[in-house]
Amino acid sequence: MSGRRIRCSWCGVQLTVPPRAQNIQCAVCKAVTQVQQHDRLLGQAQSSLHDATNKLKGFLNTVSSNINSMVAAVNSYPMQASSYGSYAQPARPISSLMPFSAKGKKRAVLCAVSYYGQRHRLKGTVNDVRCMKYFLVERMGFPNDSILLLSEEEPNPSLIPTKYNIRKALHWLVQGCQSGDSLVFHYSGHGSQQRDLNGDEIDGYDEMLLPVDHQIEGTILDDEINATIVKPLPSGAKLHAIIDACHSGTVLDLPFLCRMNSEGYYVWEDHGFLSSTYKGTSGGLAISFSACDDHQVSVDTMALSGNAVTGAMTYSFIQAAQKEPGLTYGRLLNSMSQIIRDAKAGTHLNGPISALLRKVLGTELSQVPQLSSSAKFDIYSKPLSL
């Protein structure tokens, strides 16, 4: 008989409880939840909810009676017509999806998934997002309090990169987005593929991100990512995604993919013609840098001082952007590819990723950075602007 499911008392992840178990440890945050106490608290909550419901019904009946009396009194009072006409009441503000509200014209979600205690653990993801945060704050002018960082090392349970929390973070990123806003989504973790079921993928596969609890809660598909952070983007707003994961070439499901050869010549491929659903924005511009093509895998590597594991794509992006401020998207792609080729060949480079040249975890660097966009443009005339 399969066990029932309860939520972790600390981080909220759903846990499957074996029969007759009294305690269970969460694989994500390692907290121990007492099953009997959980049942007792659930019963108390249900009883309290029942009492509160009865009180609320009585309160609403009283309020309804008072409102009816007020309406009758207002209708009987002689009033002059307003010369300004009627107007729609503004929508009431929704509650914040995260512990703090979005601030400023620049904001970012940085997500590191390390999969602690799991078979396919990654070692460099936290280094990736910490370095990306430093780059955005110190080099690109992002306010520190407008950057949301999710990792398994965060003490706040709502900042652990579970499927639920990543979804909340993506909604927070675009919440209230306006013209002139600049958004960044950086993800360092595992990516994968599955058979496309709605016929909108050229290669027949959907791409997806793997949250820390994907074995229980499932993955986040490219279709959902597109609908959440691409489609709502208004005119004048821009989104840059930096996805350091396997099979990530079209993980934002953007309509156009830039194909560049080793000489720097490029063409735009139309990836949106198969879809019956519009995959573009609401007037804004969305651009995604991916670690590799949909059929490729990415790697962790040694970087910085030679003893910090990082994603090769993350560091090639930061290195290229820092080395040549104001470079175009085409120049950035060329520089990133050159950095990875030099690392593969063992050529010496100066700068923070010089250790790439010495050691690559015994894995050949065959990945090629990819660029996709919601609209075609001349990549050699448009400068990078985060």
C-alpha 309/C-alpha 360 separation (Å) is: 9
**DSSP label of 167:** H
* Region of 199 on the Ramachandran plot (φ > 0 left; ψ -120 to 50 alpha; else beta): left
C-alpha 313/C-alpha 356 separation (Å) is: 11
Contact 307, 356 (CB under 8 A): no
Long-range contacts formed by 27-34: CB under 8 A, 24+ apart: 27/117, 27/118, 27/213, 28/152, 28/160, 28/162, 28/212, 28/213, 29/157, 29/160, 30/117, 33/6, 33/7, 33/8, 33/9, 34/9
Contact 34, 22 (CB under 8 A): yes
Run of H or E including 25:
strand 23-25
Helix%, strand%, coil% for the chain, nearest 5: 30, 20, 45
Cβ atoms < 10 Å from Cβ of 224 = 16
Among 26, 131, 246, 258, the active-site one is: 246
Q: Is 246 a catalytic residue?
A: yes
Number of H-type helices and E-type strands within the chain: 7, 17
**What Cα–Cα distance (Å) separates residue 330 from each residue in 254, 260, 342?**
18, 9, 18
C-alpha 31/C-alpha 34 separation (Å) is: 10
User: Which two three-digit tokens encode residue 213?
Assistant: 């609890």
Bridge-partner residues for 209, per DSSP? Answer: 191, 220
DSSP, collapsed to helix, strand or coil, labels residue 109 as strand
Among 38, 186, 190, 247, the active-site one is: 190
Burial class (CB in 10 A: 0-12, 13-18, 19+), 232: middle
Which residues are known catalytic residues?
A: 190, 246
